[in-house]
């Protein structure tokens, strides 16, 4: 058997699991009118079909209408809402997977007027519920949560997962840093754990002793004065004694999200050793989570008895079939997460929601199916970057006669994406795309420019233009100076000369380039015309990148426009009209690129169907490129 430890069956209480892979909570927020919809059904069906043993589903509103967050939050208080959840559970169970319900209660209370200990957020004042609730209110919340578990059992969930991490209500009560109570729920560890212990006991009483309860526990807050692993181990033991059936070893709080949700600058599996330490305190199973994106590290962690189960959320968003592929030994076929925390984070992508930067089908499973084409067509794809490869492969899978032309070598700008610091994982998506292309029926011609005349000689039915983008230009004096370099040339050459570097453009590429080039003996400055740098990057990776730039001494000038380049000087103008200048041995332009779509105009009206994809359609990130390519191939 491939990865025998990972694919051995296991148990959580009375719940039998076919393997050791769990999909932790991934709040899709796909619900419409608080009901399960086809988008949610098909998203989870794909993961269940892919071979995962257990899926943790988001928590419905437990206390309607007092804690209701809007139509993207599920409800289950009325039959019309519960019916959809029951269908979702049936879909997951039918594929051989189990479904647990995440069990949580809002962590904050909102006031219209300032109160003691409150923080202002917009037009309201907010107090941590952990500190604001009375003991009677605490009992009421315990009853509400226990009733939620009972309701989950009635609907058909296989168990619940109590949220006691991520800086939420229970985690705040456990924290010596965040819990400021001086009653029986505050102070000593036993008091701080009392709410959690009572909750587990009440859940077991309401839903039955045999109804599995998994606890997602903050095992180290990683902040001075916060909860540490030794106290967390004691809490885990108390939870086991109260009736918990498994512990998910989580970490961090709201101020250390980069630990809870490890970005690309984190090492692989950063919390596995934390799970191993918690195992020493309990006899029930422990689950390791956090940036575990492959079967190799997962199987080894179980073999070394550091954990009993493995949690993979983003890895299964990136490739829902990861378990089946791993069990079959098809390791090269796994589409691995690159931990960019872009399309899957926060609100995701407008019009789609939370999706994926490497898997264009994530969030689109309900709408996109790769069915055989009714009419086989001759398709020429021009451009061998990610979008061109993706379009060619999907078109070929549908039965079309596909030829891919690339003027250089396969990969496009993706060949360079892994050079910047902590972007090594991005190289795997290109490896994956090349792998699936090599195993497709697509005929590939590299070092073959796709001119309009050559294309027309082939008499194709469809041309997909995936020619990428070209560097943007600035019309300023000195822009053609020998000191000026386009950012793509820097990456192609893998280096740049000069001790004083000025980078024009504070987007993702500009800032990542500054992170790469800055270091001892070199001064790097960033110039951005907008009020902030990294306007499109999500919060966690943005904070991490800005912290590195600050540590490396990169000077950042926002609301600043470059006006000229003269010898060793870069002339700038601030938004208030004031002028300044910077010394520069090298000026790197990292401004927005322009779609290279001229071939589309040459072919319009001369080929039956012409479509631009990727950056040739609209410049954006990798996820946008792959989605546009998939949509085009499905539209042939």
User: Which pLDDT tens digit goes with each residue over 437-489?
Assistant: 999 999 999 999 999 999 999 999 999 999 999 999 999 999 999 999 999 99
277 pLDDT tier (thresholds 50, 70, 90): very high
**pLDDT score of 124:** 83
For 282, half-sphere exposure in the C-beta direction (CA atoms, 13 angstrom radius) is 34
**Is residue 249 within 8 Å of 269, Cβ to Cβ?**
no
**pLDDT score of 125:** 85
**Is residue 213 within 8 Å of 200, Cβ to Cβ?**
yes
- Angle at Cα 438 formed by Cα 434 and Cα 439, nearest 5°? 120
127 pLDDT tier (thresholds 50, 70, 90): confident
Distance (Å) of CA 392 to CA 362, 428, 462, 632 = 19, 19, 11, 10
pLDDT mean over 549-564: 98
Q: Where are the extended beta strands (E) located within 64-181?
A: 98-103, 108-111, 119-121, 124-128, 159-164
Closest CA relative to residue 408, chosen from 459, 454, 448: 448
User: Which pLDDT tens digit goes with each residue over 99-126?
Assistant: 999 999 999 877 778 877 778 888 888 8
pLDDT mean over 493-509: 96
d(CA 268, CA 272): 9
pLDDT mean over 141-153: 98
**pLDDT score of 122:** 82
Q: Which residue has the higher pLDDT, 124 or 70?
A: 70
d(CA 244, CA 204): 9
The tokens for 601 are 């105009």
**pTM to 2 decimal places:** 0.96
**Is residue 411 within 8 Å of 494, Cβ to Cβ?**
no
**Is residue 171 within 8 Å of 129, Cβ to Cβ?**
no
In percent, the amount of the chain with pLDDT more than 90 equals 95
d(CA 7, CA 499): 53
Closest CA relative to residue 214, chosen from 9, 22, 472: 22
The tokens for 627 are 């989605």
pLDDT mean over 429-435: 98
d(CA 141, CA 172): 15
**Is residue 188 within 8 Å of 140, Cβ to Cβ?**
no
**Mean of per-residue pLDDT scores for the chain:** 96
Closest CA relative to residue 102, chosen from 156, 157, 39: 157
* DSSP sequence for 342-407: STTSTT-BTTTBS--SS-TTTTTTTT---PPPSS--EEEEE--SHHHHHHHHHHHHTT-EEEEE-S
**Is residue 146 within 8 Å of 195, Cβ to Cβ?**
no
- 378-471+594-634: CATH number: 3.40.50.720
pLDDT mean over 31-50: 98
pLDDT mean over 158-165: 98
What are the backbone dihedrals phi and psi of residue 260, each rounded to the nearest 5 degrees, phi first?
-65, -40
pLDDT mean over 312-319: 98
**pLDDT score of 174:** 98
User: Which pLDDT tens digit goes with each residue over 324-371?
Assistant: 999 999 999 999 999 999 999 999 999 999 999 999 999 999 999 999
User: Which pLDDT tens digit goes with each residue over 163-211?
Assistant: 999 999 999 999 999 999 999 999 999 999 999 999 999 999 999 999 9
pLDDT mean over 82-95: 98
Q: How many CB atoms are located within 10 Å of the residue 372 CB?
A: 9
Name, in order, each residue with C-beta under 8 angstroms of 459's C-beta and a sequence gap of 6 or more.
378
**pLDDT score of 491:** 97
- 484-589: CATH number: 3.50.50.60
- Is it true that the peptide bond before 65 is cis, omega within 30 degrees of 0? yes
**pLDDT score of 118:** 78
β-strand pairing of 401-405 with 286-288: unpaired
Parse the chain into domains and list their residue ranges: 10-333, 378-471+594-634, 484-589
pLDDT mean over 301-308: 98
Tokens 């058997």 sit on residue:
1
CATH architecture of 10-333: Alpha-Beta Barrel (3.20)
Helices and strands of the chain, counted as H and E runs: 21, 28
């Amino acid at each position: 058997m491939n990865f025998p430890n990972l694919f051995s069956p296991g148990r959580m209480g009375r719940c039998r699991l076919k393997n050791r892979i769990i999909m932790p909570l991934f709040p899709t927020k796909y619900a419409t009118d608080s009901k399960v919809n086809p988008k949610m059904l098909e998203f989870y069906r794909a993961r269940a079909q892919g071979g995962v043993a257990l899926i943790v589903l988001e928590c419905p509103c437990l206390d309607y209408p007092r804690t209701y967050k809007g139509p993207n939050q599920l409800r289950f208080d009325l039959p019309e809402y519960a019916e959809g959840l029951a269908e979702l559970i049936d879909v997951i169970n039918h594929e051989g997977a189990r479904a647990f319900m995440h069990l949580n209660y809002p962590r904050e209370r909102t006031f219209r007027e300032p109160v003691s200990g409150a923080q202002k957020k917009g037009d309201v004042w907010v107090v941590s519920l952990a500190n604001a609730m009375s003991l009677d209110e605490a009992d009421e919340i315990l009853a509400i949560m226990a009733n939620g578990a009972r309701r989950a059992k009635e609907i058909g969930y296989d168990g619940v997962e109590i949220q006691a991490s991520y800086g939420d209500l229970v985690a705040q009560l456990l924290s010596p840093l965040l819990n400021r109570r001086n009653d029986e729920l505050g102070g000593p560890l036993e008091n701080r754990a009392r709410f959690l212990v009572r909750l587990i006991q009440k859940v077991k009483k309401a839903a039955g002793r045999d109804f599995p309860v998994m606890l997602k526990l903050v095992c180290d807050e990683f902040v001075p004065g916060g909860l540490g692993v030794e106290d967390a181990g004691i809490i885990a033991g108390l939870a086991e004694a109260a009736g918990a059936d498994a512990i998910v070893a989580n970490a961090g709080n709201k101020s250390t999200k980069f630990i809870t949700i490890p970005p690309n600058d984190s090492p692989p599996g950063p919390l596995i050793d934390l799970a191993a330490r918690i195992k020493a305190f309990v006899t029930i199973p422990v689950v390791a989570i956090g940036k575990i994106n492959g079967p190799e590290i997962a199987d080894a962690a179980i073999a070394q008895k550091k954990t009993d189960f493995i949690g993979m959320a983003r890895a299964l968003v990136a490739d829902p079939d990861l378990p089946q592929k791993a069990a079959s030994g098809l390791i090269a076929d796994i589409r691995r997460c690159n931990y960019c925390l872009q399309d899957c984070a926060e609100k995701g992508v407008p019009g789609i929601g939370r999706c994926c930067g490497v898997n264009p089908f994530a969030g689109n499973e309900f709408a996109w199916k790769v069915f055989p084409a009714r009419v086989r067509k001759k398709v020429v794809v021009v451009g061998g970057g990610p979008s061109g490869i993706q379009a060619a492969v999907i078109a070929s899978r549908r039965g079309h006669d596909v030829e891919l032309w690339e003027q250089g070598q396969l990969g496009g700008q993706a060949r360079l994406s892994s050079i910047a610091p902590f972007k090594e994982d991005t190289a795997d998506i290109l490896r994956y795309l090349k792998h699936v292309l090599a195993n497709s029926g697509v005929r590939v011609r590299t070092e073959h420019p796709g001119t309009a005349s050559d294309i027309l000689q082939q008499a194709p039915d469809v041309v997909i233009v995936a020619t990428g983008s070209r560097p943007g230009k600035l019309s300023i004096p000195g822009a053609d100076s020998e000191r000026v370099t386009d950012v793509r040339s820097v990456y192609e050459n893998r280096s740049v000369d000069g001790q004083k570097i000025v980078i024009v453009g504070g987007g993702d590429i500009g800032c990542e380039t500054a992170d790469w080039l800055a270091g001892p003996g070199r001064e790097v400055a960033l110039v951005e015309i907008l009020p902030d740098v990294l306007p499109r990057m999500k919060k966690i990776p943005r904070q991490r990148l800005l912290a590195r730039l600050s540590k490396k001494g990169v000077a950042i000038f926002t609301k600043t426009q470059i006006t000229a380049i003269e010898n060793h000087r870069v002339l700038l103008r601030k938004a208030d009209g004031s002028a300044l200048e910077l010394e520069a041995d090298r000026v790197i332009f990292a401004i927005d690129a322009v779609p290279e779509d001229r071939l589309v105009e040459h072919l319009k009206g001369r080929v039956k169907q012409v479509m631009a994809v990727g950056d040739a359609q609209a410049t954006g990130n990798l996820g946008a490129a792959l989605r546009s390519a998939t949509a085009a191939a499905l539209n042939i």
